Amino acid sequence: MPKAATRQKTVAKTTKTSINGTGPKAEAAKGLDLVDVDLAQAEYLERRKSQITAIKKLDKKLLREMLYQMVLGRRFEEKCAEVYRMGMIGGFCHLYIGQEAIGVGSMMALKPTDMVITSYRDHVQAMIKGMTPESVMAELYGKEGGCVKGKGGSMHMFSKEHEFYGGHGIVGGQIGVGTGMAYAAKYKGTDQVVLNFFGEAAVNQGLFHESLNMAQLWKLPCIYICENNQYGMGTSQKRAMSSRSIAKKAEAFEMANEFVDGMDVMAVRDATIRAIERARKDGSPTLLEIRAYRYMGHSMSDPGNYRTRDEIKKYQERDPIVLFKDSLKEAKVFGDKDFDKIEEEAMTAVAAAVKFAEESPFPDPSELMTDVYA
Protein backbone atom coordinates (compact mmCIF):
# COMPACT_ATOMS: atom_id res chain seq x y z
CA MET A 1 0.00 0.00 0.00
CA PRO A 2 2.59 2.66 0.88
CA LYS A 3 4.21 1.87 -2.48
CA ALA A 4 0.99 2.76 -4.26
CA ALA A 5 0.88 6.04 -2.41
CA THR A 6 4.40 6.91 -3.56
CA ARG A 7 3.54 6.02 -7.12
CA GLN A 8 0.62 8.42 -7.00
CA LYS A 9 2.97 11.23 -6.06
CA THR A 10 4.75 11.04 -9.43
CA VAL A 11 1.80 10.45 -11.69
CA ALA A 12 -0.27 13.18 -10.10
CA LYS A 13 2.20 15.83 -11.24
CA THR A 14 1.01 15.48 -14.82
CA THR A 15 -2.64 15.90 -13.99
CA LYS A 16 -2.58 18.44 -11.22
CA THR A 17 -3.42 21.42 -13.45
CA SER A 18 -6.85 20.02 -14.31
CA ILE A 19 -7.92 20.35 -10.69
CA ASN A 20 -7.89 24.12 -10.78
CA GLY A 21 -9.40 24.47 -14.26
CA THR A 22 -12.96 24.40 -15.48
CA GLY A 23 -15.01 21.90 -17.46
CA PRO A 24 -16.13 18.34 -16.71
CA LYS A 25 -12.66 17.08 -15.74
CA ALA A 26 -12.17 19.84 -13.19
CA GLU A 27 -15.66 19.27 -11.83
CA ALA A 28 -14.83 15.61 -11.47
CA ALA A 29 -11.64 16.46 -9.63
CA LYS A 30 -13.64 18.37 -7.05
CA GLY A 31 -15.18 15.08 -6.06
CA LEU A 32 -18.18 14.69 -8.33
CA ASP A 33 -16.82 11.70 -10.21
CA LEU A 34 -14.25 9.51 -8.55
CA VAL A 35 -13.68 6.99 -11.31
CA ASP A 36 -10.99 8.46 -13.55
CA VAL A 37 -7.63 7.24 -12.34
CA ASP A 38 -5.50 10.27 -13.24
CA LEU A 39 -7.90 12.58 -11.51
CA ALA A 40 -8.00 10.22 -8.58
CA GLN A 41 -4.27 10.47 -8.20
CA ALA A 42 -4.39 14.25 -8.38
CA GLU A 43 -7.15 14.18 -5.82
CA TYR A 44 -4.96 12.15 -3.49
CA LEU A 45 -2.37 14.90 -3.47
CA GLU A 46 -4.94 17.62 -2.93
CA ARG A 47 -6.43 15.66 -0.07
CA ARG A 48 -3.05 15.25 1.53
CA LYS A 49 -2.42 18.98 1.47
CA SER A 50 -5.66 19.77 3.27
CA GLN A 51 -5.24 16.79 5.59
CA ILE A 52 -1.84 18.00 6.76
CA THR A 53 -3.27 21.44 7.55
CA ALA A 54 -6.07 19.85 9.58
CA ILE A 55 -3.69 17.43 11.34
CA LYS A 56 -1.53 20.27 12.59
CA LYS A 57 -4.49 21.65 14.52
CA LEU A 58 -5.25 18.43 16.37
CA ASP A 59 -4.01 16.80 19.56
CA LYS A 60 -1.47 13.99 18.97
CA LYS A 61 -3.25 11.59 21.29
CA LEU A 62 -6.51 11.98 19.38
CA LEU A 63 -4.73 11.53 16.04
CA ARG A 64 -3.19 8.30 17.30
CA GLU A 65 -6.55 7.02 18.48
CA MET A 66 -8.12 7.90 15.12
CA LEU A 67 -5.45 5.96 13.25
CA TYR A 68 -5.68 3.08 15.72
CA GLN A 69 -9.45 2.80 15.26
CA MET A 70 -9.09 2.79 11.48
CA VAL A 71 -6.42 0.10 11.57
CA LEU A 72 -8.33 -1.92 14.17
CA GLY A 73 -11.46 -1.75 12.00
CA ARG A 74 -9.53 -2.96 8.93
CA ARG A 75 -7.78 -5.84 10.73
CA PHE A 76 -10.99 -6.84 12.52
CA GLU A 77 -12.91 -7.10 9.26
CA GLU A 78 -10.10 -9.02 7.54
CA LYS A 79 -10.23 -11.50 10.40
CA CYS A 80 -14.02 -11.70 10.09
CA ALA A 81 -13.65 -12.66 6.43
CA GLU A 82 -11.12 -15.33 7.40
CA VAL A 83 -13.16 -16.93 10.17
CA TYR A 84 -16.37 -16.63 8.14
CA ARG A 85 -14.76 -18.72 5.39
CA MET A 86 -13.80 -21.26 8.07
CA GLY A 87 -17.47 -21.54 9.00
CA MET A 88 -17.15 -19.89 12.42
CA ILE A 89 -19.72 -17.15 11.64
CA GLY A 90 -23.18 -17.97 10.35
CA GLY A 91 -25.69 -15.89 8.41
CA PHE A 92 -25.00 -12.62 6.66
CA CYS A 93 -21.77 -10.72 7.18
CA HIS A 94 -21.18 -7.27 5.66
CA LEU A 95 -17.70 -5.78 5.91
CA TYR A 96 -16.68 -2.14 6.26
CA ILE A 97 -13.28 -2.32 4.53
CA GLY A 98 -12.63 0.93 2.62
CA GLN A 99 -15.14 2.96 4.62
CA GLU A 100 -13.20 3.29 7.90
CA ALA A 101 -12.58 7.03 7.51
CA ILE A 102 -16.33 7.67 7.57
CA GLY A 103 -16.97 5.95 10.90
CA VAL A 104 -13.83 7.23 12.59
CA GLY A 105 -14.00 10.80 11.27
CA SER A 106 -17.63 11.28 12.22
CA MET A 107 -18.07 9.25 15.42
CA MET A 108 -14.88 10.43 17.06
CA ALA A 109 -16.25 13.98 16.92
CA LEU A 110 -19.13 12.96 19.22
CA LYS A 111 -19.50 13.09 22.99
CA PRO A 112 -19.91 9.63 24.58
CA THR A 113 -23.52 10.53 25.44
CA ASP A 114 -24.46 11.15 21.78
CA MET A 115 -26.38 8.46 19.95
CA VAL A 116 -25.62 6.39 16.85
CA ILE A 117 -27.84 4.21 14.69
CA THR A 118 -26.75 2.41 11.55
CA SER A 119 -27.34 -0.33 8.99
CA TYR A 120 -26.19 -3.96 9.01
CA ARG A 121 -22.61 -2.86 8.10
CA ASP A 122 -22.07 -2.24 11.77
CA HIS A 123 -19.10 -4.11 13.33
CA VAL A 124 -16.54 -1.34 13.03
CA GLN A 125 -18.91 1.46 14.00
CA ALA A 126 -19.86 -0.47 17.15
CA MET A 127 -16.19 -0.58 18.16
CA ILE A 128 -15.59 3.10 17.39
CA LYS A 129 -18.53 3.90 19.70
CA GLY A 130 -16.70 2.12 22.49
CA MET A 131 -17.94 -1.48 22.36
CA THR A 132 -15.13 -3.98 22.86
CA PRO A 133 -13.80 -6.07 19.96
CA GLU A 134 -14.54 -9.09 22.19
CA SER A 135 -18.25 -8.27 22.50
CA VAL A 136 -18.52 -7.66 18.74
CA MET A 137 -16.62 -10.79 17.68
CA ALA A 138 -18.51 -13.01 20.14
CA GLU A 139 -21.76 -11.62 18.73
CA LEU A 140 -20.60 -12.57 15.25
CA TYR A 141 -19.92 -16.09 16.53
CA GLY A 142 -23.44 -16.20 18.02
CA LYS A 143 -21.98 -16.68 21.50
CA GLU A 144 -23.21 -15.72 24.96
CA GLY A 145 -20.38 -13.18 25.42
CA GLY A 146 -21.66 -11.16 22.46
CA CYS A 147 -23.08 -7.65 22.94
CA VAL A 148 -26.62 -9.03 22.64
CA LYS A 149 -25.82 -12.49 23.99
CA GLY A 150 -25.36 -14.01 20.54
CA LYS A 151 -28.95 -13.46 19.46
CA GLY A 152 -28.38 -10.68 16.95
CA GLY A 153 -25.31 -11.71 14.98
CA SER A 154 -23.46 -9.61 12.44
CA MET A 155 -26.28 -7.23 11.52
CA HIS A 156 -27.50 -6.36 15.02
CA MET A 157 -24.76 -4.94 17.21
CA PHE A 158 -26.38 -2.97 20.01
CA SER A 159 -25.38 -1.37 23.31
CA LYS A 160 -27.56 0.92 25.38
CA GLU A 161 -24.55 1.63 27.58
CA HIS A 162 -22.61 3.01 24.62
CA GLU A 163 -25.62 4.74 23.04
CA PHE A 164 -25.31 2.48 20.00
CA TYR A 165 -28.80 1.58 18.80
CA GLY A 166 -28.10 -1.03 16.10
CA GLY A 167 -27.39 -2.66 13.57
CA HIS A 168 -30.59 -2.75 11.34
CA GLY A 169 -31.28 -5.15 8.48
CA ILE A 170 -34.18 -3.40 6.76
CA VAL A 171 -32.61 -1.03 4.26
CA GLY A 172 -33.31 2.52 5.41
CA GLY A 173 -35.49 1.42 8.35
CA GLN A 174 -33.12 3.03 10.83
CA ILE A 175 -33.54 6.45 9.18
CA GLY A 176 -37.00 6.74 10.74
CA VAL A 177 -35.97 5.21 14.09
CA GLY A 178 -32.97 7.57 14.34
CA THR A 179 -35.23 10.54 13.58
CA GLY A 180 -37.42 9.42 16.47
CA MET A 181 -34.35 9.21 18.71
CA ALA A 182 -33.51 12.81 17.84
CA TYR A 183 -37.10 13.78 18.58
CA ALA A 184 -36.80 12.12 22.02
CA ALA A 185 -33.51 13.93 22.74
CA LYS A 186 -35.09 17.27 21.90
CA TYR A 187 -38.28 16.51 23.85
CA LYS A 188 -36.31 15.50 26.94
CA GLY A 189 -33.76 18.32 26.52
CA THR A 190 -30.78 15.96 26.82
CA ASP A 191 -28.47 17.92 24.46
CA GLN A 192 -27.68 14.67 22.62
CA VAL A 193 -27.23 14.54 18.88
CA VAL A 194 -27.89 11.50 16.69
CA LEU A 195 -25.64 10.22 13.92
CA ASN A 196 -28.01 8.40 11.60
CA PHE A 197 -26.05 6.25 9.09
CA PHE A 198 -27.43 4.61 5.94
CA GLY A 199 -26.25 3.61 2.46
CA GLU A 200 -26.93 5.45 -0.78
CA ALA A 201 -29.41 2.78 -1.92
CA ALA A 202 -31.64 3.63 1.05
CA VAL A 203 -32.10 7.17 -0.26
CA ASN A 204 -34.59 6.14 -2.95
CA GLN A 205 -37.03 5.03 -0.29
CA GLY A 206 -39.90 7.13 1.00
CA LEU A 207 -38.79 6.99 4.62
CA PHE A 208 -35.65 8.99 3.86
CA HIS A 209 -37.69 11.88 2.44
CA GLU A 210 -40.36 11.75 5.15
CA SER A 211 -37.71 11.76 7.88
CA LEU A 212 -35.76 14.69 6.46
CA ASN A 213 -38.93 16.68 6.07
CA MET A 214 -39.94 16.13 9.70
CA ALA A 215 -36.43 16.69 11.07
CA GLN A 216 -36.14 20.05 9.33
CA LEU A 217 -39.68 21.11 10.19
CA TRP A 218 -39.30 20.21 13.86
CA LYS A 219 -35.60 21.16 14.11
CA LEU A 220 -34.37 17.80 15.32
CA PRO A 221 -30.69 17.28 16.29
CA CYS A 222 -30.18 14.55 13.71
CA ILE A 223 -27.17 14.25 11.43
CA TYR A 224 -28.06 12.08 8.47
CA ILE A 225 -24.94 10.39 7.13
CA CYS A 226 -25.29 8.79 3.74
CA GLU A 227 -22.34 6.44 3.35
CA ASN A 228 -22.16 6.48 -0.40
CA ASN A 229 -20.03 3.44 -1.24
CA GLN A 230 -21.45 3.63 -4.78
CA TYR A 231 -23.19 0.24 -4.77
CA GLY A 232 -26.40 -1.19 -3.35
CA MET A 233 -25.68 -4.93 -3.48
CA GLY A 234 -24.72 -5.42 -7.17
CA THR A 235 -26.35 -2.24 -8.47
CA SER A 236 -24.25 0.87 -9.02
CA GLN A 237 -25.74 4.20 -8.01
CA LYS A 238 -25.60 5.27 -11.66
CA ARG A 239 -28.12 2.58 -12.60
CA ALA A 240 -30.50 3.24 -9.74
CA MET A 241 -30.69 6.98 -9.05
CA SER A 242 -31.72 9.74 -11.44
CA SER A 243 -29.44 12.31 -9.81
CA ARG A 244 -25.78 11.90 -8.90
CA SER A 245 -25.81 14.20 -5.88
CA ILE A 246 -27.39 12.90 -2.72
CA ALA A 247 -26.33 15.89 -0.61
CA LYS A 248 -28.44 18.18 -2.79
CA LYS A 249 -31.59 16.22 -2.01
CA ALA A 250 -31.59 17.99 1.36
CA GLU A 251 -32.28 21.27 -0.42
CA ALA A 252 -35.82 20.09 -1.13
CA PHE A 253 -36.33 20.41 2.63
CA GLU A 254 -34.15 23.54 3.05
CA MET A 255 -31.79 21.43 5.15
CA ALA A 256 -28.06 22.11 5.55
CA ASN A 257 -25.98 19.64 3.56
CA GLU A 258 -22.45 18.85 2.50
CA PHE A 259 -20.71 16.51 0.11
CA VAL A 260 -17.68 15.02 1.86
CA ASP A 261 -14.71 13.01 0.66
CA GLY A 262 -14.96 9.74 2.56
CA MET A 263 -11.35 8.78 1.87
CA ASP A 264 -10.22 11.74 3.99
CA VAL A 265 -10.78 11.16 7.69
CA MET A 266 -10.01 14.77 8.59
CA ALA A 267 -12.51 16.13 6.04
CA VAL A 268 -15.14 13.82 7.51
CA ARG A 269 -14.32 15.00 11.02
CA ASP A 270 -14.50 18.69 10.09
CA ALA A 271 -17.83 18.34 8.28
CA THR A 272 -19.28 16.39 11.21
CA ILE A 273 -18.12 19.02 13.69
CA ARG A 274 -19.91 21.70 11.66
CA ALA A 275 -23.06 19.57 11.67
CA ILE A 276 -22.82 18.90 15.41
CA GLU A 277 -22.51 22.62 16.09
CA ARG A 278 -25.67 23.28 14.10
CA ALA A 279 -27.48 20.48 15.92
CA ARG A 280 -26.49 21.64 19.42
CA LYS A 281 -27.11 25.30 18.72
CA ASP A 282 -30.71 25.18 17.60
CA GLY A 283 -31.41 21.54 16.84
CA SER A 284 -30.85 21.97 13.11
CA PRO A 285 -30.40 18.72 11.20
CA THR A 286 -27.84 18.17 8.43
CA LEU A 287 -27.45 15.73 5.56
CA LEU A 288 -23.88 14.65 4.87
CA GLU A 289 -23.18 12.64 1.74
CA ILE A 290 -19.85 10.98 2.42
CA ARG A 291 -18.50 9.19 -0.60
CA ALA A 292 -16.11 6.26 -0.32
CA TYR A 293 -15.90 2.81 -1.87
CA ARG A 294 -16.65 -0.69 -0.68
CA TYR A 295 -13.59 -2.86 -1.44
CA MET A 296 -15.22 -6.18 -0.57
CA GLY A 297 -18.44 -7.70 -1.87
CA HIS A 298 -21.78 -6.52 -0.52
CA SER A 299 -21.66 -9.42 1.93
CA MET A 300 -19.45 -12.46 2.31
CA SER A 301 -21.63 -14.35 -0.18
CA ASP A 302 -21.24 -11.82 -3.00
CA PRO A 303 -19.09 -13.07 -5.92
CA GLY A 304 -18.77 -9.46 -7.20
CA ASN A 305 -19.41 -10.10 -10.91
CA TYR A 306 -20.79 -6.62 -11.49
CA ARG A 307 -17.50 -4.67 -11.34
CA THR A 308 -13.93 -5.08 -12.50
CA ARG A 309 -10.81 -5.68 -10.45
CA ASP A 310 -9.35 -2.53 -12.00
CA GLU A 311 -12.15 -0.43 -10.60
CA ILE A 312 -11.53 -1.76 -7.10
CA LYS A 313 -7.78 -1.27 -7.49
CA LYS A 314 -8.21 2.40 -8.36
CA TYR A 315 -9.85 3.03 -5.03
CA GLN A 316 -7.41 0.89 -3.10
CA GLU A 317 -4.63 3.08 -4.44
CA ARG A 318 -6.21 6.01 -2.61
CA ASP A 319 -6.80 4.08 0.55
CA PRO A 320 -7.96 6.23 3.50
CA ILE A 321 -5.53 4.56 5.94
CA VAL A 322 -2.53 4.95 3.63
CA LEU A 323 -3.50 8.57 3.00
CA PHE A 324 -3.79 9.30 6.72
CA LYS A 325 -0.46 7.62 7.48
CA ASP A 326 1.28 9.54 4.67
CA SER A 327 -0.11 12.82 5.98
CA LEU A 328 0.83 12.06 9.59
CA LYS A 329 4.32 11.20 8.46
CA GLU A 330 4.68 14.33 6.36
CA ALA A 331 3.38 16.47 9.21
CA LYS A 332 6.06 14.79 11.36
CA VAL A 333 3.51 13.61 13.91
CA PHE A 334 4.23 9.88 13.59
CA GLY A 335 6.74 7.67 11.81
CA ASP A 336 7.04 4.06 10.69
CA LYS A 337 7.84 2.79 14.18
CA ASP A 338 4.61 4.31 15.53
CA PHE A 339 2.67 2.75 12.65
CA ASP A 340 4.21 -0.66 13.39
CA LYS A 341 3.23 -0.34 17.04
CA ILE A 342 -0.34 0.59 16.12
CA GLU A 343 -0.54 -2.40 13.75
CA GLU A 344 0.74 -4.66 16.50
CA GLU A 345 -1.78 -3.35 19.03
CA ALA A 346 -4.62 -3.82 16.55
CA MET A 347 -3.55 -7.37 15.69
CA THR A 348 -3.30 -8.21 19.41
CA ALA A 349 -6.78 -6.80 20.04
CA VAL A 350 -8.24 -8.83 17.15
CA ALA A 351 -6.53 -12.04 18.32
CA ALA A 352 -7.90 -11.48 21.84
CA ALA A 353 -11.38 -10.95 20.39
CA VAL A 354 -11.24 -14.21 18.44
CA LYS A 355 -9.97 -16.12 21.49
CA PHE A 356 -12.77 -14.66 23.62
CA ALA A 357 -15.39 -15.55 20.98
CA GLU A 358 -14.09 -19.09 20.61
CA GLU A 359 -14.06 -19.69 24.35
CA SER A 360 -17.44 -18.10 25.03
CA PRO A 361 -20.26 -20.69 25.30
CA PHE A 362 -23.28 -20.77 23.01
CA PRO A 363 -26.40 -19.32 24.71
CA ASP A 364 -28.27 -21.81 26.86
CA PRO A 365 -31.44 -23.17 25.17
CA SER A 366 -33.43 -21.74 28.11
CA GLU A 367 -32.49 -18.27 26.77
CA LEU A 368 -34.39 -18.88 23.53
CA MET A 369 -37.38 -16.71 24.36
CA THR A 370 -35.77 -14.06 26.60
CA ASP A 371 -35.18 -10.55 25.22
CA VAL A 372 -37.22 -11.45 22.13
CA TYR A 373 -39.87 -8.88 21.27
CA ALA A 374 -41.11 -9.92 17.86
Ligand X SMILES: Cc1ncc(C[n+]2csc(CCOP(=O)(O)OP(=O)(O)O)c2C)c(N)n1
Residue 150 contact among ligand X, Mg ion, none, beta carbon within 5 to 8 Å by kind: none
Cis peptide before 153 (omega within 30 of 0): no
Q: Which is nearer to ligand X, 43 or 289 (CB)?
A: 289
229 binds Mg ion per the rule CB under 5 A = yes
Nearest residue to ligand X by CB is: 199
CB of 166 to ligand X, least distance (A): 14
Distances (CA, A) of 4 to 74, 229, 313, 323, 327: 18, 21, 10, 10, 14
Nearest residue to Mg ion by CB is: 199
Interacting positions 253-312 with ligand X (CB under 6 A): 294, 298
DSSP secondary structure code for residue 158 in this structure = -
180 binds ligand X per the rule CB under 6 A = no
Interacting positions 106-135 with ligand X (CB under 6 A): 119, 121
CB proximity list for 215: less than 8 A, separation 6 or greater: 179, 182, 222, 224, 253, 255, 285
169 binds ligand X per the rule CB under 6 A = yes
Residue 169 contact among Mg ion, ligand X, none, beta carbon within 5 to 8 Å by kind: ligand X
297 binds Mg ion per the rule CB under 5 A = no
Phi, psi angle pair for 246, to nearest 5° = -85, -40
DSSP assignment string, 107-132: HTTS-TTSEEEEES--HHHHHHTT--
Binding mask 189-208 for ligand X (x = CB under 6 A): ----------xxxx------
Phi, psi angle pair for 242, to nearest 5° = -70, -25
**Rounded Cα–Cα distance for residues 90 and 63 (Å):** 35
CB of 200 to Mg ion, least distance (A): 5
Angle at 218 between CA 212 and CA 221, to 5 degrees: 70
Phi, psi angle pair for 256, to nearest 5° = -60, 145
262 binds Mg ion per the rule CB under 5 A = no
Closest-CA residue to 128 (of 66, 77, 193): 66
Q: Which is nearer to Mg ion, 15 or 119 (CB)?
A: 119
77 binds ligand X per the rule CB under 6 A = no
171 binds ligand X per the rule CB under 6 A = yes
For 278, the 3-state DSSP assignment is helix
DSSP assignment string, 190-230: ----EEEEEEGGGGGSHHHHHHHHHHHHTT--EEEEEEE-S
Q: Which is nearer to ligand X, 101 or 342 (CB)?
A: 101
| Region near ligand X per CB under 6 A, out of 46-54, 169-177, 276-284, 305-313 | 169-177
Interacting positions 178-217 with Mg ion (CB under 5 A): 199-200
Q: Which is nearer to ligand X, 176 or 232 (CB)?
A: 232
| Region near ligand X per CB under 6 A, out of 14-22, 82-90, 231-239, 250-258 | 231-239
For 283, the 3-state DSSP assignment is coil
Interface residue with ligand X, options 229, 272, 327, 360 (CB under 6 A): 229
Task: Point out which residues bind Mg ion (CB under 5 A).
Answer: 199-200, 229, 232
Task: Point out which residues bind ligand X (CB under 6 A).
Answer: 119, 121, 169-171, 199-202, 229, 231-233, 294, 298
